[in-house]
Structure 1
């Protein structure tokens, strides 16, 4: 049976090809979903534009829009277990991680409900005989394109502020993880969101996504995913002269100085690269260790990695599930083979586990590689998997040079009790987020984004709502 999706103000089956999603733990088909044709994408865009222009939504008072977001958050909380299972069976994350992300999605809607109700406009100082007001108004229809690694959190981080800002949203989820987005649309509908304000268009980016972004009704694009795709989206946005927010790839440096608490630092490194099987934009995939502590750190990490439990994502004792797809595992395996050919030493992992059915499930062991310089391809290209490259450094200047020698600039972690040194390095690192003596602590209240080829714009925080609005100045004469 082909599942339907919300578009054109109602739920339709879609006349395009059937999209099949696969459980990466078992290799079985999870769902068969209808996809829209070009004309059905266009109809969804027109319906969204009409819904966004309705006075009942566009002129809704902020506290009333906030009440809607609170109702959506309540529904998300009630459906948390369903949402967690839908994500788990499509991308293989452990159930406990999926449950945490479902709770995070509800919290995101609550946060933007509060922001919506309390964020103020401005009244700039007058330079003449007038009063000047600065208003912030919605773009109309936002195209939100999300990745497969964490759809629950990524979709909430786009849909919640875009709705809070007064827009209609058309969500284009990854073709690998469509079910969480469909369930989010059902939640919004049950909460009372008017028809047309939240649509979901399943399918591949090369057809559904491209058609969506080129439709004249789309007034703003928000994308999270790979840098190559982000560049193509930016080109489309530039040609159409519409704003875009891009949260892209990373090859984040994780740094351990020789005076660090090595037990705490190694625990942070493990979570930073292996949580979610390394399928995270902020994964600390390049570990720089001061030379005097290098061997001790590698030994600690290898011992800890061997204790991680690799298993089916719904098992209570599973630390790491499968990768998101067979194709992605092949990509990861290709990079590990490349590292071997370049002279890298596989200190841990580097193969499929023996105790699991790896012909049906996309399982792979967390891998640690030493013996390579920062110039190696596996140290420069985003693998997006459970592969950690350990690189020694001699001093602070050498560290900063190597850490910044990348096209990316998303995140960084620093471990040292010397606060002055940690602060100096944090200021010198070219990255949008830096953690000191911790890693991967994220808050919906803090702006998030990247430097260089890791993206444009900032999601989350107060600026995360303004991202989905355009600014207008109004002058009133007083003379």
Structure 2
């Protein structure tokens, strides 16, 4: 079987690391065998990135010229959007409609950061003596970008676009479950005329390729999105090496419904907030808190809508819940549901693989709702990363805030109420990087994104999303 190569310094190489298989979770079929990057391959990639970033033709390139290249990348993403969507769908099982939308968002990220670098300015600090203090921002050099499998099209675009706009070169290491979008992004960079070596893509296993990348002495900044345990491990390496990191990690986001909310709108928001992407989203609203006076009524609305969701292949008409990303991950989700049963939880929807005879070959799992747990239960405290919603009642704002904040995570939160004063109080009290009021999972590259507590360190995206990939430098001009 042919082994798919990866990209170093503008050349496609087979690599000397451990190859691995890409499997379609919708039907269990083999997508292909992918080359693995060894520590020597990673070293080769980092050295090429360093050489390309230090080349005066790149380092001295004016912002509007870098912006032109980024816009050309965006154009090619749009042109190849259908192909990119198909690649992601085959690798992680996400609905094709969602993959198409994410291809569009990926192009939007490159256009956004192209616009930012054309308008972002340096600073003149207030004078405190006979001098002028000029603050400029320099690229780190080589940035390691490590991405997960759930939404590679958007997450890789957001990291690479910002880091390259800031003047860095990037070594991108995608998840071994979804190597395809990153490899195609590397191809697009070359076709867009971006200098070879500015984007390198190394595929491989985390313990081999990823470890070699974050340990490399010439990697000057690390950007990681993924699980909290891996984020901690990367953080320890970065601390020892004294290099900065941006870590966007897990979540266990509270989705809150007050008695005065528009209950039909809230029910739609709750169901889409957990079951889109089959629950495989760091910001999934996986803990539903319902004010006790409407608990039974609102729960019935959510259960009814959940049971009506159609589980099916990601490219089939009418499918609303696609397979999980892998068969191993489905087993992990099933184990969490069993733990909820063991803790006294009641399954009021789902809780099993679908009975549909047309779906046995895929990693499908029914949208699941669990009641009867306390906030201390394992399923309520740990990130399941699947289509599982835990439902809990609350009595008043104080009780709600205590329960909602009673987790180590702090990534997202949703609030449904007709009282803007109540929404403001609760939003300020919740420990989360993003709070949605009367909506959920509305995302834009134009605002900072990240989490509190175990959900990460630092912020990406937004106008200052470039600054996370740069170091400030002060130049003092004597005027005496």
Pick the TM interval, shorter chain: over 0.9
Alpha carbons 1:311, 1:356 under 8 Å: kept = no
Give me the whole-angstrom Cα distance separating, in 1, the residues matched to 2:347 and 2:193. Answer: 54
1:252-401 matches, within 5 Å, as: 252-401=253-402
Partner of 1:22: 23
Tell me how far apart the structure 1 counterparts of residues 219 and 469 of structure 2 sit (CA, whole Å). Answer: 12
- 2:230 corresponding residue in structure 1: 229
> Residues of 2 paired with 1:18 and 1:231: CA distance?
26
Shift of 1:39: 1.1
Return the alpha-carbon distance in structure 1 between the equivalents of residues 358 and 138 of structure 2.
53
Q: 1:150 corresponds to which residue? A: 151
1:49 CA displacement:
0.4
Secondary structure, in 3 states, of the residue corresponding to 1:123? strand
Distance 1:159 1:41 in 2: 18
Separation in 2, partners of 1:381, 1:301: 22
- Match of 1:450? 451
CA contact (8 A) 1:352 1:358 kept: no
SS of corresponding position for 1:296: helix
- Aligned counterparts, 1:239-250, within 5 A: 239-250=240-251
| 2:125 counterpart SS class | coil
Question: 1:169, 1:199 within 8 Å by CA — same for their partners in 2?
Answer: yes
Aligned equivalent of 1:68: 69
Residue ranges of structure 2 left out of the alignment (5+ in a row)? none
For the pair 1:474 / 2:475, whether they are aligned, the reply is: yes
1:9 deviation in Å? 3.7
Q: Residue by residue, what CA displacement relative to the aligned partner does 1:379-416 show, whole Å, maximum 9, x if unpaired?
A: 00000000000000011100001001110000100000
- Matched with 2:176 is 175
> For residues 17 and 416 of structure 1, what CA distance do their matches in structure 2 show?
52
The answer as to whether partners of 1:137 and 1:471 remain within 8 angstroms in 2 is yes
Task: State how far apart, in whole Å, the 2-side matches of 1:14 and 1:416 are.
Answer: 55
Aligned-residue offset at 1:428: 0.3
Tell whether the 8 Å contact from 2:10 to 2:190 is kept in structure 1 after alignment: no
Distance 2:467 2:427 in 1: 27
Deviation at 1:357, TM superposition (A): 4.7
Counterpart in the other structure of 1:425: 426
**Could you tell me how far 1:356 is from its partner in structure 2?**
4.2
Deviations 1:182-239 (A, max 9, x none): 0011011100011111011101111100011111110000000000000000001000
Deviations 1:133-164 (A, max 9, x none): 00001000000000000000000010000000
Over 3 Å counting, the alpha-carbon distance change for 1:383 and 1:55 in structure 2 is same
CA contact (8 A) 2:312 2:359 kept: no
List 4+ stretches of structure 1 deviating above 3 A: 356-359
Where 2:124 maps in the other structure, the secondary structure is coil
Q: Distance in 2 between matches of 1:298 and 1:130?
A: 65
- Cα deviation, 1:317-367, whole Å, max 9, x if unaligned, reads 111110000000000001111111111110000001111455421000000
CA distance in 2, matches of 1:380, 1:15: 41
Across the two proteins, how many residue pairs are aligned to each other?
Answer: 479
- 2-side partners of 1:362 and 1:356: how far apart? 13
Corresponding residue for 1:91? 92
CA separation in 1, counterparts of 2:213 and 2:402? 41
1:47-66 residue pairs with structure 2 within 5 A?
47-66=48-67
| Alignment match, 1:43 | 44
Who is 2:215 aligned against?
214
Is the Cα contact below 8 Å between 2:141 and 2:168 reproduced in 1? yes
Match for residue 435 of structure 2?
A: 434
Q: Deviations over 1:421-477 (max 9, x none)?
A: 111000000000000100001110000000001000000002211110000000010
Question: Equivalent residue of 2:410, what SS?
Answer: coil
The secondary structure found in structure 1 opposite 2:261 is: coil
SS in 2 for 1:223: strand
CA-based RMSD of the aligned residues comes to: 0.8
Contact 1:5-1:34 within 8 A present in 2 as well: yes
- 1:316 Cα deviation from its structure 2 partner: 2.1
Counterpart Cα distance in 2 of 1:463 and 1:279: 27
SS in 2 for 1:467: helix
2: CA distance between counterparts of 1:388 and 1:305? 10
Deviation, 1:8, is: 3.6
What is the CA–CA distance in structure 1 between the aligned matches of 2:360 and 2:245, rounded to whole Å? 40
Alpha-carbon separation, structure 2, partners of 1:341 and 1:69 = 52
Contact 2:18 2:205 in 1 (8 A): no
Cross-structure match for 2:126: 125
Write the deviation string for residues 2-37 of structure 1: whole angstroms up to 9, x where unpaired.
Answer: 111111441111122222110000101102111122
CA distance in 1, matches of 2:26, 2:328: 13
Give 1:307 shift.
1.2
Checking the alignment, whether the CA contact within 8 Å between 1:285 and 1:388 is kept in structure 2 is yes
Give the secondary-structure state (helix, strand or coil) at the position aligned to 2:409.
coil
1:465 counterpart residue number: 466
Residue of structure 1 equivalent to 2:191: 190
